[in-house]
Amino acid sequence: MIRQELRRILTSMDPAADSALSNTAGAGADGRGRDSLSLSARLKVAGSEVEATVRVRNLSSGGLMAELPEPVTPDSVVQIELGGLGWISGRVAWQVEGRAGIAFDKPIDPQLARKPVPLGNAD
């Protein structure tokens, strides 16, 4: 009930927020195109050079839900580094109890986020 009310409030403020809300009911893709997973990523908040390691718990073309080590204020502009996609820009749509929804500025291909990042040349 609380989750439904939170979704209603957030999507009334910003329809894009719905794509970043979490789905924790089981693994795999849900009916809205979100894929439950556990993926490590790096997050930077605009205006700060500090990077935090976060755990991405679900991902769609429009956003993601991540576990954060520290709270991030909703509406903060952020960048998150995802696998084969590199740095993606977006903003924090919501933040509750160590988790946050991030709405991307532009849609992504979620499958590319699962690709390993090259470590560079060994030369």
pLDDT tens digits, one per residue of 90-119: 999 999 999 999 999 999 999 888 776 555
pLDDT at 38 over 70: yes
| pLDDT above 50 (res 30) | no
Residues 10-39: what's their mean pLDDT?
A: 50
Positive or negative, the CA dihedral 62, 35, 43, 21 is positive
CA–CA distance, 46 with 13 (Å, rounded to integer): 22
- Specify the pLDDT at position 89: 97
What is the pLDDT at residue 4? 53
Which has more confidence, 43 or 37?
A: 43
Residue 107 corresponds to which tokens in the numbers above? 């849609």
Residues 75-90 pLDDT 10s = 999 999 998 899 999 9
